Amino acid sequence: MDTPPGKAPAPRDEEKEPIPGISQDVIRSGSVVPANILKHSHDADAALKAFEAYEGTVIEIDEATNKRLLRKIDMHLMPILCVVYGLNYLDKTTLSYASVMGIKKPHSGDKTTSGIDLSGSQYSWLGSMFYFGYLAWEYPTNRLLQRLPLGKYSAFNIIMWGFVLSCFAAVENYSGAIAIRFFLGVFESAVTPGFALFTSQWYTKKEQGTRTGIWFSFNGFAQIFGGLVAYGIAKGTAKYGSTIEPWKIIFLVTGILTICMGVIFLFVMPDNQMNARWLSKEDRLLAIERIRINQQGVGNKHFKLYQLREALLDPLGWAFFLYALIADIPNGGISNFFSQLIVGFGYTAEQSLLYGTPGGVVEIVSLIVCGFLGDRYGHRILISCSGLCLAILGMVLIVALPLDNNKGRLAGYYLTQASPTPFVALLSLISSNVAGYTKKTTIAAMYLIGYCTGNIIGPQTFRAKDAPRYVPAEITIIVCWGVCLFDLLFIYSYCLWQNKKKAKIRAKPGYVRLENQEWLDLTDKENPEFIYTL
């Protein structure tokens, strides 16, 4: 029997027994879990198993209940996701702050002025080495995110990256710094794909773009916070002195803060709806039911080879990979060299720490506004392009304005901080537009492998001989962002085309919708009910 999208066949006529933990006012007309599927559900989504004890039950969530659940989920998940993701960015940019706080100085016996004697090329490789670690562990960590409890594995990685970052304060030479940066990349590689999984697990497609934009926007808050902390440390140590080098203090502060947040994450963040301690038994089931519309479920621990093959043959996955690769060449350069760029505009090292912070405001506003408008108007990809256009304009100002126009070039740098909007939009589309848990984790890995590769290349475009202007690197950035615009248009067109194909399939007279197919861990390709978000 045909049924509308998002609805299951009508319930059986016989009287339903009351279900412990589920209020009768939410049992109306919705989806029924059939016994024949439950008997063969070992390869299905974990959500189907959650309904196993309630075979034949029909659950419908009214608008008031949905809003109440969403508020509770936001209140418990978003603050911890936002703060930890901000630290994730701050931990990567501590090297940029350290670059103007003495880390490049020759190593000496004086603990207040000693560095690790970095040359220009060594500093560039130190920036890239983080992403070698990230790249090496990206696919394995995505498989572990699928196999292990999501919340606990994520917490382990947060605590470990905080510990490794703190160890940077004990580094005395280049080889030690290289090792620290590599392992920092290893442990941070779980954060972005893990947070994308959390978002797809708890939020509907219409909610995912805004939420992803919010927690990613804390990169901007971290830039503001980090710049102010680094400036305070630099000024304080210059005035009052310190027993250790200022650049080591910044690593200790951010590392210890990360460890503390990792411990909090361990106790607050559930693996999924089924073990969320801050939800009642009733609300746990309702929290799963509310995301039925996603056609994706909440997780599946079984590796499926056909889904891996589908991911590797999907043009959409490779378009995501290409965008991450090209877009993060600029990101890798700017995130490691922004302090030195600002010094090149004619400001002092201390001023560069302070004047870099408004860039964070630009990033926050652009990400939240684009995320909200993308979800509201249903054109997440096209709206995100506006941030990239602003970034291109900003880099053109840096290249074209005269050297004595410090304020204009600094304003250009601020505009470049709107560049992450499409990256975040595509990250949210991995949550929204890729179904099948093995396929989703594979494409997330591909996307972040592209991200790592671009960030490895990026610092190498900033050559020491081009300082302080770095014109070749700046031109490379403009070209990369231009290519990214064409890639985004392809992704938009491809998703639109796929939606039209699926609409034709659903419109055929003999089409029958599978019962409870939302929980069968189907991929976006094999599920005719799946609609791609634009």
Residue 6 — pLDDT band, cuts 50, 70, 90? very low
Which of 273, 204, 214 minimizes the C-alpha distance to 66?
204
Predicted local distance difference test score (pLDDT) of residue 49: 63
Arithmetic mean of pLDDT, 75-93: 90
The ranges assigned to domains in the chain are 63-519
Most confident of the following: 121-125, 128-132, 140-144: 140-144
Residue 469 — pLDDT band, cuts 50, 70, 90? confident
- Least confident range from 15-24, 71-80, 116-125, 282-291: namely 15-24
Predicted local distance difference test score (pLDDT) of residue 25: 39
Name residue, tokens 């594979």.
442
pLDDT at 35 over 50: no
pTM as predicted: 0.78
DSSP 8-state assignment for residue 26: G
Report CA dihedral (5, 10, 16, 19) to the nearest 10 degrees.
0
**Whole-number Cα distances in Å, 268 to 152, 177, 499, 521:** 10, 33, 38, 27
Predicted local distance difference test score (pLDDT) of residue 107: 61
**Whole-number Cα distances in Å, 524 to 96, 296, 440, 504:** 41, 8, 10, 16
Residue 36 — pLDDT band, cuts 50, 70, 90? very low
Residue 116 — pLDDT band, cuts 50, 70, 90? confident
**Whole-number Cα distances in Å, 448 to 80, 175, 326, 517:** 22, 26, 12, 29
Both tokens assigned to 340 = 């030195």
**CATH among 1.10.10.10, 3.40.50.150, 1.20.1250.20, 3.40.50.720 for 63-519:** 1.20.1250.20
- Tens of pLDDT, residue by residue over 488-500, are 999 999 999 999 9
Residue 16 — pLDDT band, cuts 50, 70, 90? very low
- Least confident range from 424-433, 494-503, 520-529: namely 520-529
By percentage, how much of the chain surpasses pLDDT 90?
A: 37
Q: Quick one: how far is CA 423 from the chain centroid? A: 9
Contact (Cβ atoms closer than 8 angstroms) between residue 356 and residue 223:
yes
Predicted local distance difference test score (pLDDT) of residue 57: 56
pLDDT at 8 over 80: no
**Whole-number Cα distances in Å, 500 to 190, 317, 494, 523, 532:** 35, 19, 10, 17, 10
- Least confident range from 19-28, 168-177, 208-217, 398-407: namely 19-28
Length in residues, the chain: 534
Arithmetic mean of pLDDT, 435-457: 89
Predicted local distance difference test score (pLDDT) of residue 331: 84
- Higher pLDDT pick, 20 / 402: 402
pLDDT at 17 over 70: no
